Amino acid sequence: MVSAFPDSLLQFLFLVGVPLYLDIHCTLAPFNHSKLLSIIDQIHQILHETFGYNQFRAQQEEIIKHVIEGKDALVIMPTGGGKSMCYQIPAIAKPGLTLVVSPLIALMNDQVTSLHQLGVSAAAIHSNQTSADLNAIYSAIESESLSLLYVSPERLMTDRFIDYLQRQVTLDLIAIDEAHCVSVWGNDFRPEYVALGKLKELFPDVPTVALTATADSATQQDIIKQLRLDDGRLFLSSFERSNITAAAAPGQKRIEQIIAYVKQRKGQAGIVYCLSKKSTETVATKLVAKGYKALAYHAGMPGDKRAIIQRKFQSDEIDIICATIAFGMGIDKPNIRYVIHYNLPKNIEGYYQEIGRAGRDGEDSEALLFYSWADKTTLQSFIDQSTARESFKEIQTVKLERMWQFATSANCRTNTILNYFGEYKNDQCGHCDNCLYPPPRFDGTTYAQMALSAIIRGGQRMGLGLTVDVLRGSFKQEITQLGLDQIKTYGVGREISYLAWSHYITQFINQGLIQLDVSDYSRLKVTPLSKAVLEGNQTIEITQFEKQKIKTPVKKAKPVLNNLDIDKDLLNGLKKWRTQLAKEMNVPPYRIFSNKTLDYLAAEAPTQYQDLLDIDGIGKVKLEQFGDQLIELIESYE
């Protein structure tokens, strides 16, 4: 199909909604109804008797029929959609062997175990096997009693193994799982997959079915090309998961937000994905301290420990797993109610695969994504520091940028994802935050002008944090040292909190008014679009910053002053800040805070509202008035 039409026609068919999986080639072939009926009966029988299910899911039946008829296919189906059955049923229906190429031993073992439980003869060949195991597998193959053989691409493509398959085995089908790994355009390119391109030449008469849950349109075309599925058919299932409500929020005070979130969902199963091993542990520890059944999980842990944690989660012994993306491959837990991303994922494919682990039982579930510039910068530096080819790094950078746009977008999130995967759609999904609660907007032109002016007057040499500091008239040493307190915009945005400024500037960056130059220490710079706004010829709409509600203070014993471990630098900083503020407000410094309160602040260095409230001398009113400034100041001394 794909080779038969120029790209533009394919795109046209897509745009006008002609399903690409229409089997254009077979329309001229003679049609054998009785044969077709028997195939359909047979696959329904396997579905009922072997798998115990009543009906096929969308497209499964059509794919299975197509594959059994000996034709190639590329199956793009979201995680949990039921891809495995698309080659397992043909494998059971056919007399010979089906080879399944899979990248991970854990995935292979998982599948083999479930197949054994269903009474299907299957095996996996991998490096962790004894020669006795291997011999048993080879005799099963030779006696034609094995239906499915799972194998890694490296193992499959050895000359010896290929020779063995060609000489001694009746191959009915080759299934290539996680097929996106073959493409550099994909999100998980694996060089060992490239060799699979030779399979068509080596086994020209054996049909190939390639399957993946994550392939944007470029990757789909590339898989077809690499695996030479030119005469195959593309089965593109809808990627929409209507039972998942997706939302995203700026990553400020994430732990507090997560704690408040899980409090509403006590006893429900959820995953919190973190970028670093350390964060998995920090988040898990904080959740445990609040009484939740949570555990950390990451690749740095020994395999047996990971297996135990996974089992506990699977069996509902614990509710929350705080994990790196090492967790989840092959997890088939139907009742996961939410997936939280503590950090921005590196691309939309990964994000969508991870949230796809929620709600496999079809019940309502949620995906909550936190994002921050820091996450993005970290991910960008991973890309920059990797030893991969430059062209590959460029693709990864673009994918990261798309992820960022998704996170910060005020548009329908489902549409953003569907369009990304080549399933064009622009009506509102009704199950994302932006559809459910369209964000109110206001005219942010003045703020944009303030920010742009600060950036220009600061010589386009400041990052986001420093720009906000200048706008808010901060007393940080760095500001005075660089003479930034002398520029005209210094302090013009004092009445806006630090967090609100970050929120607004992020939107200006997303709207192309400000450039964050990752190649120059993430400094903020003007863009060709800045001028019109600065000169008042264009207005800018932005969303409001929503301040977090301050919780009612819980009375705690005040710390004893005598034993305070005071941070001298911080104390000096606090005193300077108080003097300056007192001058501006025209009040004596002690009216702002007493020396004792400053001592407590310098000793405890609180950076959360709740902890500030625990300091002697800070009540709700002072917290409202000075809380953000204090947090910002204290954080700058950490």
- Which positions lie near Zn ion, rule CB under 5 A? 412, 414, 429, 432, 435
Distance CA 293, CA 313 (A): 10
- Residue pair 124/105 in contact (Cβ under 8 Å)? The answer is yes
432 binds, among ligand ADP, Zn ion, none (CB under 5 to 8 A by kind): Zn ion
Q: Is 245 exposed, middle or buried (0-12, 13-18, 19+ CB in 10 A)?
A: buried
CB-based contact 222:342 (threshold 8 Å): no
- DSSP string computed for 282-314: HHHHHHHHTT--EEEE-TTS-HHHHHHHHHHHH
Contact between 599 and 571 under an 8 Å Cβ cutoff? The reply is: yes
Q: Which of residues 205-224 bind ligand ADP (CB under 6 A)?
A: 213
Q: How far is the CB of 381 from ligand ADP (least distance, A)?
A: 32
Question: 151 forms bridges with which residues in the sheet?
Answer: 101, 125
The residue range among 80-88, 236-244, 521-529, 572-580 that interacts with ligand ADP, by the rule CB under 6 A, is: 80-88
Is position 251 an interface residue for ligand ADP (rule: CB under 6 A)?
no
Can you tell me which of 84, 221, 597, 629 binds ligand ADP, judged by CB under 6 A? Answer: 84
In a 3-state reduction of DSSP, which class is residue 383? helix
Please identify which residue in 5, 14, 53, 545 interacts with ligand ADP, judged by CB under 6 A.
Answer: 53
Binder among 66, 71, 83, 333 for ligand ADP (CB under 6 A): 83
**77: contact with ligand ADP by CB under 6 A:** yes
Tell me, letter by letter, the H, E, C secondary structure of 353-368. HHHCCCCCCCCCEEEE
- As a whole number of angstroms, the distance between CA 288 and CA 311 comes to 18
* Distance of alpha carbon 527 from alpha carbon 535, whole angstroms: 14
Q: Which is nearer to Zn ion, 425 or 525 (CB)?
A: 425
With respect to Zn ion, which residue has the nearer C-beta, 63 or 248? 248
The encoded tokens of residue 437 equal: 């609660």
Judged by beta carbon, residue 79 or residue 497, the one nearer ligand ADP is: 79
Shortest reach from residue 546's CB to ligand ADP, in Å: 36
Task: Give which of ligand ADP, Zn ion, none residue 332 binds (C-beta under 5 to 8 Å, depending on kind).
Answer: ligand ADP
In angstroms, the CA 148 to CA 525 distance is 57
Query: For residues 170 and 206, what is the distance between their CA atoms, to the nearest angstrom?
Result: 9
Identify the DSSP state of 412: -
Residues 322-341 that bind ligand ADP (CB under 6 A): 332
Choose the stretch contacting ligand ADP; rule: CB under 6 A; options: 55-63, 123-131, 180-188, 605-613: 55-63
Residue of 48, 57, 116, 263 that binds ligand ADP (CB under 6 A):
57
Question: Mask of contacts with ligand ADP, 583-622, x by CB under 6 A?
Answer: ----------------------------------------
Among candidates 470, 512, 475, which has minimal Cα distance to 491? 470
Contact region with ligand ADP (CB under 6 A), list: 54-62, 121-129, 503-511, 624-632: 54-62
- Least Å distance, CB 114 to ligand ADP, is 8
Among 11, 50, 82, 456, binds ligand ADP (CB under 6 A): 82
Say which entry of Zn ion, ligand ADP, none residue 83 contacts (CB below 5 to 8 A, set by partner kind). ligand ADP
Residue 250 binds ligand ADP (CB under 6 A): no
Cα separation, 1 vs 233, whole angstroms: 6
Of Zn ion, ligand ADP, none, which one does residue 120 interact with (CB within 5 to 8 Å by kind)? none
How many residues are present in the chain? 638
Q: Which of Zn ion, ligand ADP, none is residue 359 near (CB under 5 to 8 Å by kind)? A: none
Choices 49-57, 147-155, 364-372, 403-411 (CB under 6 A): range interacting with ligand ADP: 49-57
3-state SS class at 98: strand
For residue 96, give every residue at least 6 positions away whose Cβ sits within 8 Å of its Cβ, in sequence order, or none: 144, 169, 170, 171, 172
199 binds, among Zn ion, ligand ADP, none (CB under 5 to 8 A by kind): none
C-alpha distances in Å from residue 335, one per residue of 314, 533, 544: 9, 49, 35
Helix (H) or strand (E) holding 248, with range, is strand 244-250
Q: Does residue 81 bind ligand ADP (CB under 6 A)?
A: yes
Instruction: Select the binding partner of residue 470 from ligand ADP, Zn ion, none (C-beta < 5 to 8 A, by kind).
Output: none
Q: Which residues of 57-86 are buried (b: 16+ CB within 10 A; e: fewer)?
A: eebbbbbbbbbbbebbbbbbbbbbbbbbbb
CB 146 to ligand ADP: min, Å: 20
With beta carbons less than 8 A apart as the criterion, state whether 462 and 522 touch.
no
Q: Which of residues 141-160 bind ligand ADP (CB under 6 A)?
A: none
**Residues of span 341-370 touching ligand ADP by CB under 6 A:** none
Q: Considering CB distances under 5 to 8 angstroms, the limit depending on partner class, which of ligand ADP, Zn ion, none binds residue 212?
A: none
C-alpha to C-alpha distance for 224 and 180, rounded to whole angstroms: 10
- Closer CB to ligand ADP, residue 85 or residue 471? 85
Looking at residue 507, its amino acid is Q
Nearest residue to ligand ADP, scored by beta-carbon proximity: 82
Smallest distance from the beta carbon of 75 to ligand ADP, in angstroms?
9
Residue (152 or 396) nearer to ligand ADP, CB: 152
Cβ distance to Zn ion smaller for residue 39 or 247: 247
Judged by CB under 6 A, the residue of 72, 73, 79, 87 near ligand ADP is 79
Binding region for ligand ADP (CB under 6 A):
53, 56-57, 60, 77, 79-85, 213, 332
